[in-house]
């Protein structure tokens, strides 16, 4: 933990900076693409450190959220580079893991609810998102519809979803407020409508 935590935090800061750059820089240009790549690899480091930390602390919540968060960055990156819309085997496997994490969150949400733990709200929200996004990506892979504007929308949705995860982590770590689930859910509630608006605008 002493070794992993500083790496995890540093990667989180870098991911937040790179995500901001990717949003601000003009899409398709070199700075945007570089920011996106750095963001993806920062999220990969976050995932690579979060999984062993969750195992060391026996934290199922962190384990599931780590899968959920990294998948968003992974899928977003894959939709960016795969312009033909023909998925590789690991794309479908990754989407399956996303759905698995969502089902795991749903089950843990029920357990938390019975224990009176208010974090069941966070798990319920994230679980629904994981199942919904994972299912949409599975359908996209099977039908090979991720081309043209639809590919950009899938890229945007997943990348921004990953960004929400980073923003959420920063708030949860640095802001102490009760009930704790508010800061876990608030970024999703605020940013998701922007993603939906942006997606509709891209499709039109």
pLDDT > 90? residue 98: yes
Determine the pLDDT at residue 157.
Answer: 87
Number of domains within the chain: 1
Q: What percent of the chain has pLDDT over 90?
A: 31
Determine the pLDDT at residue 175.
Answer: 67
Neighbours of 184 (CB within 10 A): 21
Q: How far are the Cα atoms of 30, 136, 201 from residue 51, in angstroms, in the given order?
A: 32, 25, 36
| Higher-pLDDT residue of 75, 2 | 75
Give ∠ CA 28-31-32 in degrees, rounded to 5: 45
Query: Structural domain of residue 8, as residue ranges?
Result: 4-203
Model confidence, pTM:
0.86
Structure tokens at 43: 């999220």
Determine the pLDDT at residue 28.
Answer: 74
Structure tokens at 156: 């945007």
């Amino acid at each position: 933990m002493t070794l992993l935590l500083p790496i995890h935090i540093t990667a989180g800061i870098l991911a937040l900076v790179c995500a901001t750059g990717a949003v601000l820089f003009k899409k398709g240009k070199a700075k945007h693409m570089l920011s996106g790549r750095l963001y993806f690899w920062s999220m990969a480091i976050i995932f690579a450190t979060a999984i062993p930390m969750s195992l060391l602390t026996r934290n199922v919540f962190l384990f599931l959220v780590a899968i959920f968060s990294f998948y968003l960055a992974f899928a977003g990156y894959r939709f960016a580079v795969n312009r033909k819309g023909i998925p590789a085997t690991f794309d479908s496997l990754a989407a399956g893991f996303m759905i698995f994490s969502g089902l795991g969150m749903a089950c843990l949400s029920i357990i938390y609810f019975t224990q009176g733990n208010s974090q069941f709200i966070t798990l319920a929200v994230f679980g629904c998102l994981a199942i919904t996004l994972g299912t949409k990506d599975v359908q996209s892979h099977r039908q090979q519809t991720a081309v043209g504007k639809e590919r950009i929308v899938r890229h945007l949705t997943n990348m921004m979803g990953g960004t929400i995860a980073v923003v959420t982590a920063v708030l949860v770590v640095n802001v102490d407020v009760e009930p704790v689930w508010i800061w876990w859910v608030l970024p999703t509630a605020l940013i998701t409508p922007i993603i939906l608006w942006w997606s509709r605008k891209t499709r039109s």
